């Protein structure tokens, strides 16, 4: 019986696949299957995948369906109790799956978990010894962030293992938990397409009282860049955001509002959230007027988000861990 299914979501990342996939196939201590969902890549991804066709189940989509729908495809095809969604720019230590599965087997209330992700430079093939994520946390204004990101790995975060959520780079989910917070096999919200869908799923798991945990013994490496500047001035923030595409900035803002509409309880609304939202809107109004076009894209989604909100909170009342 398979213990864990790895689902790799790929789009034009062929040059990373031959480094990512071997680390998934060589997991110790648990039986795994690997599924790759390719979102109509135009590079050499399918040629690279041909080398792994005896060991990996390959699904080649005819269009780029987005991260969320591709992840849902893989989860639906999985045959295990646990499923892990993997970015192709991730490499895992041989016991990554074992340590997390062991932790989740010990506590049936754990719905999602992540190991310690360290930043990795694929061009030089070297670990940067800097944290990428030890889980997702939120502040009083409900800004979501990867805990410890860009900090030197000094094991500072190892003691606190309960987190708000898990990063989408290498999360591991209990399939029972995914099924409880979704319907019609839409585990990740497909209206998000991509970006912040991992936060949405983590939030829903919290609403249903599933626990999200960080397992420091499990280590992986992620090729993500250094992200937004922390505690820097306005000029640095503007420069960083201007290097992002308008498409991503609009998608991020639209999905941010979808997160709040779907998941935020009215009882949770506070001064910090209101201040944060006013500040965010004001920044866009002054420096990124075109990003605010995301609001026009949000309007058609409002009825669906409200319907999903009703489903979420109606069914959360029946949660087995109340």
Token reading at 305: 């988000």
In contact, 146 and 132? CB cutoff 8 Å: yes
Residue 187 above 90 pLDDT? yes
Instruction: pLDDT band for 317, please (50, 70, 90 cuts).
Output: confident
- Residue 46: what pLDDT? 97
pLDDT at residue 174 in the model? 98
Question: In a 3-state reduction of DSSP, which class is residue 74?
Answer: helix
Distances (CA, A) of 207 to 135, 145, 192, 322: 17, 19, 19, 10
Q: What span, in angstroms and rounded, lies between the C-alpha atoms of 115 and 307?
A: 34
Q: What backbone phi and psi angles, to 5 degrees, belong to 111?
A: -100, -25
Domain segments of the chain as ranges? 4-222, 234-316
In degrees, to the nearest 5, what angle opens at C-alpha 260 toward C-alphas 256 and 266?
160
Q: Which secondary-structure segment (H or E) carries 252?
A: helix 246-263
| Of 317 and 302, more confident | 302
The predicted structure's pLDDT at residue 225: 58
Cα separations (Å) of 228 from 2, 145, 234?
38, 10, 12
Query: 236 falls in which pLDDT band (50, 70, 90)?
Result: confident
What token pair was written down for 276?
């944060």
pLDDT value of position 243: 80
**pTM to 2 decimal places:** 0.94
DSSP 80: S
Which one-letter DSSP state was computed for residue 183? S
Q: Answer whether residue 79 shows pLDDT above 60.
A: yes
> Backbone phi, then psi, for 6, in 5-degree steps?
-95, 125
Q: What would the two tokens of residue 18 be? A: 């031959």
Place of tokens 């506070």: 270
Burial 22-60, CB ≥16 within 10 A → b, else e? ebbeebeebebbbbbbbbebeeebbebbeebeeebbbee
Which CATH code for domain 4-222? 3.90.550.10
């Amino acid at each position: 019986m398979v213990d864990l299914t790895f689902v790799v979501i790929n789009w034009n990342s062929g040059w990373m696949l031959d480094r990512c996939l071997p680390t998934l196939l060589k997991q110790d201590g648990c039986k795994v299957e690997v599924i790759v969902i390719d979102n109509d890549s135009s590079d050499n991804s399918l040629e690279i995948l041909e080398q792994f066709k005896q060991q990996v189940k390959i699904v080649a989509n005819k269009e780029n369906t987005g991260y969320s729908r591709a992840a849902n495809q893989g989860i639906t095809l999985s045959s295990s109790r646990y499923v892990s969604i993997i970015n192709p720019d991730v490499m895992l230590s041989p016991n990554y799956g074992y340590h997390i599965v062991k932790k989740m087997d010990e506590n049936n209330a754990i719905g999602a978990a992540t190991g310690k992700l360290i930043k990795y430079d694929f061009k030089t093939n070297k670990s940067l010894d800097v944290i990428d994520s030890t889980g997702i946390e939120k502040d009083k204004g409900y800004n979501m962030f990867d805990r410890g990101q860009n900090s030197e790995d000094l094991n500072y975060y190892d003691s606190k293992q309960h987190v708000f959520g898990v990063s989408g780079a290498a999360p591991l989910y209990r399939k029972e938990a995914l099924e409880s917070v979704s319907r019609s096999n839409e585990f990740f919200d497909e209206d998000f397409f991509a970006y912040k869908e991992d936060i949405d799923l983590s939030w829903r798991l919290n609403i249903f009282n599933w626990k999200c945990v960080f397992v420091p013994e499990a280590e992986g490496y992620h090729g993500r860049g250094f992200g937004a500047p922390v505690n820097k001035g306005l000029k640095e923030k503007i420069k960083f955001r201007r290097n992002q595409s308008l498409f991503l900035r609009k998608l991020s803002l639209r999905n941010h509002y979808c997160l709040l509409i779907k998941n935020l309880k009215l009882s949770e609304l506070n001064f910090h959230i209101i201040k944060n939202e006013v500040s965010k809107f004001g920044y866009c109004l002054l420096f990124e007027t075109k990003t605010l076009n995301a609001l026009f894209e949000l309007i058609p989604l409002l009825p669906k988000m409200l319907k999903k909100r009703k489903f979420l909170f109606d069914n959360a009342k029946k949660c087995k861990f109340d």
